[in-house]
Every structure is written in C-alpha cells, then in structure tokens.
Amino acid sequence: MTLHRTVWIVVAITLLLNPLAAAGNREKDSPLVVYAYDTFVGDWGPGPSVVTAYEAAYGTKVRLVGSGDAVSMMNRLISEGASTPADVVLGISDDMASQILKTDLLRPYKSPNLAHIPAFLHFDEHDRLLPFDYGNFAFIVDSERLDKSLWPASLADLASPRYKGKLILIDPRTSAVGLGLMLWTIEEFGEDGWLVWWQQVKANALTITDGWSSAYGLFTEGEAPLVISYTTSVVYHVLSEHTTRYQALLFPSGHQATIEGVGILASSKKGKEAERFVDFLLSEAQEQIAVANSMYPANEATVLPDAFDWAPKPKRSTTVDRARLEKNLERWLTEWTEVMSR
C-alpha cells in the first residue's frame, strides 16, 4: 500500500469517527432535562433555587421545563412516549399515577433516601415514582372578604345558594388539585351523591379554571373569597406576607390526601445524573421544596420553619382505593364533564 493511499484512509476514518465523537460530547455536555408543573418551575416555586443549589454542588446543568399543571404535564409525557427529551419528571401525584404507571415510560430507582421517608407515603411498590412532598386538599377562605359566620363547615355546605359566586374551582381533567377535589367528593358523598353535589355547586362557582395558579391568583386578587387548594397554602402567606388573613377550613369528615412523586424516564441517557438529582430532591432540597411549595416534606428528618404551625392538620385523611381509582377514573371524569357541561 502506498503512503499516499494510507494517508487518505487515515483521513477518511478520522472524518467518519469525528462526528460520532462530537455527538458523544454533545450528549455528555447536554443538560439534565426535568419536566415539572408550572408552579414548581415559576419564579415563586422551588424549582429555580433547587436547580441553582444542585448545579453549584455537582457542576451539572439542569433544564427545567414547565408543562402546565400536573395532569397536563403527565399527558404531554405520555403523548411524547419514548421519544421524550425528559430525563426526570416531578409532580405526578398518587391519585393520577396509575395512568403513567401503566406505560413503560418510567424505570425503578430505589434511592437510599427512601429509608428516611415514612411507609405511608410510598405509593408505588416498584419505586418508579418516589414521594417528595405531600399534603391535604382544603378550601382556603379570605377572612377579610367573608364573615366568619358564613364560613362553610363541610363540603355539603358549599352547595348552599348563599355561596353563589363565592367559589373558585379547578378542572379535574387538567389539574391535580381539581382532580383531588373530585376524588374528595366521591369519598365524601359516594357514587350516588357526588355528582349531585357538583350539579348544585356548579351554580355557586365564579369560575372553573384549568390550573391551580390561575385559580389562586384570582382568589388573592379578591375575585372570590373561597378557593380549593391545600391546608398548607396558608404557610406561604405567613412566611412571605406576614399575614394570617387567609385560613384553611377544616371539615370534621376529613380531607383528601395527596402525595407528589418524582420519577426517572426509562429512555434517559443520563441515568446516573438523573438518580443523583432525585437523591438531591429527597435530601438537601427537601426544606426548600416544602417552603416554596407550601407542602409537607417527604423526608421526615427535614426541619421546618415555625410558619408551618399555622397549617391546620385534619383529624382524618381520605384516599380513594388505588384499584378502584384505576378502574373508575376515566368514567368519573366523563361523568363530571357531562354534569358540568349541561
């Protein structure tokens, strides 16, 4: 073989290999992509500060992608399938998890930090979704806009005509909070009564928004004195606004519980980095998440500020049986849509 020909072969091989090497470097240098619901990603949510702390600690870039409310985010992920650019998804709650767990989109990960998370919070036995925070749904009242004598003492009270135009509700088809309220009414009133409640309360709703952010924004702007949210929502107002004007209403029959989970995409090419990020969420980031999200941290070793003492704790937490939920959720949503569109 002549020297001239040998040189050209070496050049050709180099040209062939360089694009592969460049692609590998791009993959290595690309950020970890994390899907989250909008309020987590927003300026007032925990996302920006958590990512900043993580990047400083590990020198790894993270790209947070807001994907609407939690239900919309999950639907986007299912629609994208194995081609999704996401490496991690956070904010899928236990009451909506069955839809994504039926797919092969998430892979198991047994984080060492699960040892610090109480058993009652573990909602996926295969560890595809790991709990990072939790709370109870509740109606929040603006004490300056609704006299205490008119505060509802139960879900049933909210169907009274005296609350006409005073409620802000959220669509269960697009929001985890809206879904939580729907499931709460099913537990409270049973199959025979929950749609009756919605039929009655529909007349009292000022509006039904697509997501929690828009609903709570209208509430704090004074559009209506009652909104569906969490018992812990008052923590934000105590910490950030130094006010107890907004209060969570406790009902004797109990409050629907919710647990938010984080999972790793099976299609991710950044498995180790994704695991490290999940570990960080379940340890160092727990206080930041709890405070900014106004939710309870999953890690029981987390020390919380005194403002959490203002969040009342229900004497009873209710949940829908997982098997029953998986079997009936699609039907319940269809029935809700039919009642609310009449």
Considering only CA atoms, which of 205, 201, 234 is closest in space to residue 220? Answer: 234
**215/139 Cα distance (integer angstroms):** 12
Average pLDDT for the chain:
93
Are 9-134+258-305 and 136-257+311-340 in the same CATH fold? yes
Pairing of strands 130-142, 226-230: antiparallel
Tally the residues of the chain.
342
- Residue labelled with tokens 């004598």: 149
Q: Is the confidence at residue 240, as pLDDT, over 90? A: yes
Domain 9-134+258-305 falls under CATH 3.40.190.10: yes
pLDDT-derived band at 16 (thresholds 50, 70, 90) equals low
Domains of the chain: which residue ranges? 9-134+258-305, 136-257+311-340
What is the reported pLDDT for 27? 54
pLDDT exceeds 80 at position 4: no
pTM of the entire predicted model: 0.88
Distance between CA 116 and CA 108 in Å, rounded? 18
**104: which residues sit within 8 A by CB, 6+ positions away?**
266
Residue 9 has pLDDT above 70, yes or no: no
Q: Which residue has the higher pLDDT, 33 or 16?
A: 33
Query: How far apart, in whole angstroms, are the C-alpha atoms of residue 298 and residue 306?
Result: 17
Is there a contact between 257 and 319 (Cβ–Cβ < 8 Å)? Answer: yes
The 10s digit of each residue's pLDDT in 93-141 is: 999 999 999 999 999 999 999 999 999 999 999 999 999 999 999 999 9
Q: Give yes or no for residue 259 having a pLDDT over 70.
A: yes
Tell me which architecture the domain covering 136-257+311-340 has in CATH: 3-Layer(aba) Sandwich (3.40)
